[in-house]
Chains A and B, each alone.
Chain A
Amino acid sequence: MSDRLKRVDVILGNYHPEKYKILAGAMERPNKDIIQDLIDSGLKGRGGAGFLTGLKWKFAAQVPSEEKYVICNADEGEPGTFKDREILTKVPRKVLSGMGICAKVIGAKKGYIYLRGEYKFLVAQLNDQIDEFHTYCDKLGLDFRVEIFLGSGAYVCGEETALLNSIEGKRGEPRNKPPFPTNEGLFGKPTVVNNVETLVSAMMVCKIGPDQFKKLGIQDSHGSKLFSVSGDTPRAGIYDLEFGLSLEEFVKEFGDGDTKAVQVGGASGFCVPRKKFSQTTIGYKAGLDGDNLPTGGSMMLFNSSRSMYHVLENYLEFFEEESCGQCTPCRIGCQQLKKGIDAVKRGIRPPEYLDQLLKLTETMKITAKCGLGQSVANSFSSIVENFREEMIY
């Protein structure tokens, strides 16, 4: 195993022997120092968008408001991603510590864990943890309460503003931005929405300090990351790996010797063909043909027995159902892409129609209302560009 493939276990590693020690430590520190540490650590959101966590907290802290919210986004819905479930099962205290630190820094009194509906089985044990957490909050003088909010099964509610609408009892549809949640979030109040893993990483920054954290990973992509490895692999599972590994290294370790493609970042991510493994590095700006590499952590491996047409068809079927449906490019675009590859496959439209559809993906990327809509076509463009013959014959 190469160096970068070593399990670093930053996220899933053992608890500190003393409960909520890191939170207690953070309570003694000035907010601006904590924010500065986070910014210095270079920690970016682990949900996939990769926004600087320190900045997000800073923005929310700056807005004067009696009411603020911290939300843990546990609506893990990206196909091929299952790491948040593991975190919440194994180290929920780390998540709650992260939320507590965030609440202290921005001045929030209320927090929600927006839990994917299918993770209902976690509710009881999480509530026990939350109860215990509340007693520690009281001991530490932190006026903060956390509540679980169960999602209802819409993929789009993982998008932070759709998530906010969902908690407010509205239809889970993304909002227009600006205003951003850090200014006007839940119930119009300043809100930080962080992925489960981000909160743990933020806590880790407080624990080991920004310098130590920064030593992990590569430029622009610091720290470690949980990867959900699935597909044609003998070693499916969750791995806490350092940023910066190349796909070639990754496939050597996790592939079955016959890997023809890796879907990085789930259905809304990119498909990388074998010939590009060596030039693709995993990290936020690792230069996948100049694109940001999505970093939700899903790694799906496909071997030569798989039809990339069916892989793509499956993704598109997913998106035409899971688009919220409000904006034109996402709602209709997904349907046209699916109908389009079907028509080409059956010879109803000529192979060149794929080029028309690739143009459509450009439109979708630049006109959709939310991050989801802007990324749904990624799998289409990367699969069609790299496996064009499979689409036609």
Chain B
Amino acid sequence: MENIISLTINGIDVSVDRGTSILEAAKKINIRIPTLCYHEDLCVAGNCRVCVVEAEGYRTLIASCATPCEQGMKIKTNTPKVRNARRDLIALLVSEHNTQCTTCYRSTNCELQALASEYNIDNDIYMSILKPEHLRIDKSSWSIEKDDSKCVRCQRCVRTCSELQHVNAITVAHKGKDMKISTFMDLPMNEVVCVNCGQCVIHCPTGALTERRYYDDIWNAIGDEKKKVIINTAPSVRVAIGEMLGYGPGASVTGKMVSALKQIGFNMVLDTNYTADLTIIEEGNELLMRLKKALVNKEEVALPMITSCSPGWVKFIEHMYPDKLAHLSTCKSPQQMFGALSKTYLAEKMGIEPENIVSVAAMPCAAKKFEANRPEMKSSGYQDIDAGLTTREIGHMIKQAGVDFKELIDSDFDSLMGDSTGAAVIFGATGGVMEAALRTAYEIITGRDVPFEKLNITPVRGLEGIKEAGILIDNCLPEWNFLEGVELKVAVAHGLKNARIIMEQIEAGTSPYHFIEVMACPGGCIGGGGQPIPTNDDVRKKRIKAIYDEDAGKPIRKSHENPEIKKIYEEFLVDGPLGHMSHKLLHTHYTKRNRY
């Protein structure tokens, strides 16, 4: 069988590999075919039919996303027949849609709106068949709002939840006119296995799935003179928020972001990276402690140890592997460490009453909202983090405040909890936590830098689903002699589909690793459910590059060398990593949940 297929599209010859879809072949010769249910991250559904094209000799039009090219095909993408059909299909979708676009969170960033505008749909052709019961928005979840009146039934969310995340919290229910995207037994979102990762949100073409928004509360707090509103910004926000504010993907706008947040009224703009560095110290020591217990004391400890900074991942393991929670590091995520310290250490140092502090986090994440509201996250005596806002919400706030973002002059983070290292920045990309941890742990054990050029542990970088590395430990410092000759084996997984593979190994007792990093979202936080839309592999790669460029440009690139981190262990966490204070403020416990 020939493996190169030649065909013509709009009279232009094109040759592609066997199996290539007509849509992809057209893209190759710069012919854009409109789509709606298609998403490059997901398997092909072919159910919206918007991408239909005409093929000579075919009775019907064919869906270009779902039809592989065949030898000698003659495709036309822009005939009257195609245009009329496409316009009709879009008009049908509009007739099923809640078209109150002016009040929609996704207005101007909605794929249906864009199609309707491009094809100049006459809203009056078809009568609205929007069902009144679909107007009830499910706001039960801390993280995600589900508005069926905006749903176009493309099933991108369903495919995301099953294929990318192996969660299956949302699925298709009923048929015909009653067909809708629903949950198990149509339960509210907060009562199902949803892990709040928000991947459905960034794959939704419309406003049917959005993050629950909290920025109005924050505006009110900013307007309240009694309150000190503090924000910490996650590493991946600075390389993505530019996309909301006039930049292309991969623009690193850290300084402008800090300026903007100060300008719109946050009293202090601090860095989640600071607590990312702190996480490395605590988590690195926790790993070494577990290894010591296992190798020296021969105690039963849960190995491999798995990172716990991704709240979507944490809820996933709580639901799916409740008997394996001991494998999770007890470290809180950087957001929650920040919250606890902001209302204790920072409050004390700055002389502010903790009840007057509103601690906000700017996150690439939908699950951070749920995490902030976990009942156990009150170790400061208050709710440690008052609100986790997504990159998108922050972008909206900056726009609402009338800030001319591109014209801003760069500012630095405020101090005390604003210093950070390159090791913290890379938390934003898959493999980053692992790389940061290894830079520190290896040095603790051997007194030397990790044996990688310029500290860049490249085997754990990139978009491969599961990455592995092994580092041979030799010439240990005397205290760590028990690790002499041990090959420290690590793995990195991103996307919960890959996390499941890792967990199945652990369940089977075949996991060869000591330490595993898991991030719920494909690409890590730069691809998080709270990031600007669209997010796809091309965008992910650009954001990742920006992250590593930030790291490379940092004067300090190892967490344990962060001067403010040294300071907090001298002044506040005086009994050191894993000590009493850090146990109280920086570590947590987990909850067994049901699979259904």
- Distance in angstroms between the alpha carbons of A332 and B92 in the assembled complex: 6
Q: Is B49 an interface residue (CB 8 A)?
A: yes
Which of A55-63, A82-90, A95-103, A318-326 participates in binding chain B? A318-326
Q: Is A290 an interface residue (CB 8 A)?
A: no
CB-based contact A320/B127 at 8 Å: no
Q: Is B15 an interface residue (CB 8 A)?
A: no
A326 with B179: in contact, given A336-B92, A365-B60, A367-B52 (CB under 8 Å)?
yes
Q: Which of A154, A328, A356 contacts B47 (CB 8 A)?
A: A328
Contacts of B46 in A (CB 8 A): 176, 327, 369
Q: Is A178 an interface residue (CB 8 A)?
A: yes
Q: Is A42 an interface residue (CB 8 A)?
A: no
Q: Which of A320, A340, A343, A359 contacts B176 (CB 8 A)?
A: A320
CB-based contact A322/B49 at 8 Å: no
- Distance in angstroms between the alpha carbons of A176 and B81 in the assembled complex: 21
- Interfacial residues of chain A within 355-372, with CB under 8 A of chain B in the complex: 356, 359-360, 363, 365-369
Contacts of B92 in A (CB 8 A): 328-329, 332-333, 336, 360
CB-based contact B88/A363 at 8 Å: yes
Contacts of A343 in B (CB 8 A): 127
CB-based contact B176/A325 at 8 Å: yes
CB-based contact B93/A328 at 8 Å: yes
Contact with A along B38-51 (1 / 0, CB 8 A): 00000011111110
CB-based contact A363/B176 at 8 Å: no
Q: Is B254 an interface residue (CB 8 A)?
A: no
Q: Is A339 an interface residue (CB 8 A)?
A: yes
CB-based contact A368/B175 at 8 Å: no
- Distance in angstroms between the alpha carbons of A324 and B155 in the assembled complex: 13
Contacts of B155 in A (CB 8 A): 326
Contact with A along B253-265 (1 / 0, CB 8 A): 0000000000000
Which of B6-14, B62-70, B416-424, B430-438 participates in binding chain A? B62-70
Q: Is B178 an interface residue (CB 8 A)?
A: yes
CB-based contact A335/B84 at 8 Å: no
Contact with A along B118-150 (1 / 0, CB 8 A): 000000011101000000000000000000000
A336 with B129: in contact, given A178-B67, A178-B68, A369-B63 (CB under 8 Å)?
yes
CB-based contact B127/A324 at 8 Å: no
Which A-chain residue is minimally distant from B59 (CB atoms)?
A366
- Distance in angstroms between the alpha carbons of A374 and B81 in the assembled complex: 16
Q: Is B85 an interface residue (CB 8 A)?
A: yes
CB-based contact A324/B95 at 8 Å: no
Q: Is A32 an interface residue (CB 8 A)?
A: no
Contacts of A367 in B (CB 8 A): 49, 52, 60-61, 85, 88-89
CB distance from B211 to the nearest CB of A (A): 27
Contacts of A11 in B (CB 8 A): none
Q: Is B172 an interface residue (CB 8 A)?
A: yes
Contacts of B557 in A (CB 8 A): none
Q: Is B494 an interface residue (CB 8 A)?
A: no
Which A-chain residue is minimally distant from B70 (CB atoms)?
A178
- Distance in angstroms between the alpha carbons of A333 and B44 in the assembled complex: 22
CB-based contact B85/A321 at 8 Å: no
- Interfacial residues of chain B within 74-101, with CB under 8 A of chain A in the complex: 81, 84-85, 88-89, 92-93, 95-96
Which interface residue of B88, B126, B178 has the most chain A CB atoms within 10 A? Answer: B88
CB-based contact B47/A327 at 8 Å: yes
Q: Is B319 an interface residue (CB 8 A)?
A: no
- Distance in angstroms between the alpha carbons of A360 and B88 in the assembled complex: 7
CB distance from A162 to the nearest CB of B (A): 10
- Interfacial residues of chain B within 386-433, with CB under 8 A of chain A in the complex: none
Number of A-B contacts (CB under 8 A): 114
CB distance from B75 to the nearest CB of A (A): 15
Q: Is B174 an interface residue (CB 8 A)?
A: yes
CB-based contact A335/B60 at 8 Å: no
- Distance in angstroms between the alpha carbons of A323 and B88 in the assembled complex: 18
A325 with B125: in contact, given A366-B61, A366-B81 (CB under 8 Å)?
no
A327 with B175: in contact, given A176-B63, A335-B129, A369-B63 (CB under 8 Å)?
no
CB-based contact B172/A366 at 8 Å: no
A322 with B47: in contact, given A332-B95, A336-B95, A360-B88 (CB under 8 Å)?
no
- Distance in angstroms between the alpha carbons of A321 and B174 in the assembled complex: 9
Contacts of B44 in A (CB 8 A): 176
Which interface residue of B50, B66, B85 has the most chain A CB atoms within 10 A? Answer: B85
Q: Which of B66, B129, B178 contacts A332 (CB 8 A)?
A: B129
CB distance from B534 to the nearest CB of A (A): 21
Q: Which of A323, A349, A363, A374 contacts B85 (CB 8 A)?
A: A363
- Distance in angstroms between the alpha carbons of A154 and B176 in the assembled complex: 10
Contacts of B176 in A (CB 8 A): 319-325, 331, 334
Q: Is A241 an interface residue (CB 8 A)?
A: no
Contacts of B67 in A (CB 8 A): 176, 178
CB-based contact B85/A320 at 8 Å: no
Q: Which of B45, B48, B89, B177 contacts A334 (CB 8 A)?
A: B177
CB-based contact A325/B89 at 8 Å: no
CB distance from A336 to the nearest CB of B (A): 5
Which interface residue of B47, B67, B179 has the most chain A CB atoms within 10 A? Answer: B47
Contacts of A374 in B (CB 8 A): 60
Q: Is B203 an interface residue (CB 8 A)?
A: no
- Interfacial residues of chain A within 191-233, with CB under 8 A of chain B in the complex: none
Q: Is B439 an interface residue (CB 8 A)?
A: no
- Distance in angstroms between the alpha carbons of A340 and B174 in the assembled complex: 23
Q: Which of A156, A176, A321, A359 contacts B177 (CB 8 A)?
A: A321
Which A-chain residue is minimally distant from B158 (CB atoms)?
A171
Q: Is B540 an interface residue (CB 8 A)?
A: no
Contact with B along A328-355 (1 / 0, CB 8 A): 1101111110011001000001000000
CB distance from B232 to the nearest CB of A (A): 43
Contact with B along A137-165 (1 / 0, CB 8 A): 00000000000000000101000000000
Which interface residue of A335, A339, A366 has the most chain B CB atoms within 10 A? Answer: A366
Contacts of B95 in A (CB 8 A): 332, 336
CB distance from A79 to the nearest CB of B (A): 15
CB-based contact A336/B179 at 8 Å: no
Which B-chain residue is minimally distant from A365 (CB atoms)?
B60
CB-based contact B63/A359 at 8 Å: no
CB distance from B46 to the nearest CB of A (A): 5
Contacts of B177 in A (CB 8 A): 320-321, 323, 325, 331, 334-335
Q: Is B153 an interface residue (CB 8 A)?
A: yes
CB-based contact A325/B60 at 8 Å: no
- Distance in angstroms between the alpha carbons of A356 and B127 in the assembled complex: 12
A329 with B96: in contact, given A363-B85, A366-B60, A366-B61 (CB under 8 Å)?
no
A325 with B179: in contact, given A332-B92, A366-B81 (CB under 8 Å)?
yes
- Distance in angstroms between the alpha carbons of A356 and B50 in the assembled complex: 19
Which B-chain residue is minimally distant from A321 (CB atoms)?
B176
CB distance from B79 to the nearest CB of A (A): 12
A325 with B175: in contact, given A331-B153, A332-B129, A365-B60 (CB under 8 Å)?
yes
- Distance in angstroms between the alpha carbons of A363 and B60 in the assembled complex: 9
**Which 6 A-B residue pairs are closest in the complex by CB-CB distance?**
A325-B179, A176-B66, A332-B92, A363-B88, A326-B47, A323-B176
- Sampled A-B contacts (9; CB under 8 Å): A171-B172, A178-B67, A178-B68, A321-B178, A325-B174, A329-B89, A339-B129, A356-B125, A363-B84
Which A residues are within 8 Å of any B CB, using their own CB?
154, 156, 171, 176, 178, 319-329, 331-336, 339-340, 343, 349, 356, 359-360, 363, 365-369, 374
Given contacts A320-B176, A328-B49, 10 further A-B contacts (CB under 8 A): A154-B175, A176-B46, A325-B174, A329-B92, A331-B153, A331-B179, A332-B93, A339-B129, A367-B52, A367-B88
